Structure 1
Amino acid sequence: MLIGLLWALLAGSLVGLQNIFNNKVDERARTWTTTTLVLGLGFLASFLIGLIVEGGNLFNWQNMQPWFWFSGVIGVGVVFCTVNGIKLLGPTYAISIAMAAQLIFALLWDSLGWFGLERVPFSIKQLVGVLIVIGGIFVFKFGGLRQTRKAAAEGE
């Protein structure tokens, strides 16, 4: 379990870092250029590393549902939407909302057992956890609103 936690923490830090880099590319290029660059370089890197690590087994796709192959297409939506969300909302707010959406949909898909997942019974504890995260986003976004208005009023 500890190794799983470490992998998840590393994944979160890498996603945060990638979003910063993607945003910087998007400042100098258009969003579709950014999406193409990010996913194209990601394909190249994963293909080369996969060949080194797995060799010929990289192409062993037995017993895989063909519709799972479209996860890369979903990745296009992830990069495109994240880059535009950051552009319009700022990084912390956009990523917070994306994380909350991930939790909500993961809870839904786990509870329903969709997409080949083992069904996990829904519990109030899970719902409370998601609601706490969503509450944190509201605190983050609107918590300093009164102070901002007060500072703006004093500056007038």
Structure 2
Amino acid sequence: MKGILFALIGGALITLQGVANSRISQDIGTWQAATLTQFTGFILALIILMFARDTSWRKLKKVKPLYLTGGALAAIIIFSNVTAMHHIGVTLTVAVILIAQLGMTFLSDSQGWFGLAKQRMRLPQFVGIGMMIAGVVILS
């Protein structure tokens, strides 16, 4: 239950962040909005880390260098989301993002990327993503 609650909060906040970034980018530019978002996110995370007093960040050397690209990916994600929202609107952007996320999870699960155990994709998974794609077609 706790996982679902955090997923709901995260999903709602991703959408709100995208809308806010889209609005900010209209005033100062898309890369500027991405920079501002990354910076304010860094500041908040740093403050939380200081209060949490969790010292596990000191194990940074154990993290594979490939995985350290997450922050760089976030900048591209913000730029892509904001640009998409300007062109196709919030609802369609979020719908397409969800399909793209599911597509990448299918690939990473089926290939065992990032050290995950390989999962076999079955008909229900393909039917589910097909229904989502049909929903996006209807939305647009």
What TM-score does the superposition give when structure 1 sets the normalisation length?
0.84
Distance 1:22 1:16 in 2: 10
Higher relative contact order (Cα pairs below 8 Å, separated by 6+ residues): 2
Which residue of structure 1 aligns with residue 100 of structure 2? Answer: 101
Match in the other structure for 1:113: 112
Aligned residue number for residue 51 of structure 2: 52
Structure 1 window deviating more from structure 2 (28-37 vs 60-69): it is 60-69
Deviation at 1:27, TM superposition (A): 1.5
Q: Aligned equivalents of 2:92 and 2:127: distance in 1?
A: 21
Deviation >6 Å, runs of 4+: none
Q: CA deviation at 1:47?
A: 1.5
1:41 aligns with 2:32: no
Distance 1:120 1:80, change over 3 A: same
Q: Hey, what's the Cα distance between the residues in 2 that align with 1:106 and 1:59?
A: 29
Between the aligned partners of 1:63 and 1:99, the Cα distance in structure 2 is 31
Rounded to whole Å, the distance in 2 between the matches of 1:55 and 1:102 is 30
In the alignment, which residue of structure 1 is the partner of 2:130? 131
Equivalence map 1:76-95=2 (5 Å): 76-95=75-94
CA drift of 1:51 comes to 2.1
Structure 2's unaligned 5+ residue stretches are: none
Larger deviation: 59-68 or 81-90? 59-68
**Alignment partner, residue 7 of structure 1:** 6
| Aligned 8 A contact 1:51 1:58 in 2 | no
- 3-state SS of paired residue (1:119): coil
Task: Give the letter for the 1:59 counterpart.
Answer: R
* Structure with the greater alpha carbon radius of gyration: 1
State whether residues 50 and 58 of structure 1, in contact with CA within 8 Å, keep that contact through their aligned partners in structure 2. Answer: no
Percent of matched pairs sharing the same residue:
27
- 2:18 is matched with 19
Measured on the aligned residues, the alpha-carbon RMSD in Å equals 1.3
* TM-score of the two chains, using structure 2 as the length reference: 0.94
Aligned partner of 1:36: which letter? T
Cα distance in structure 2, aligned partners of 1:45 and 1:129: 36
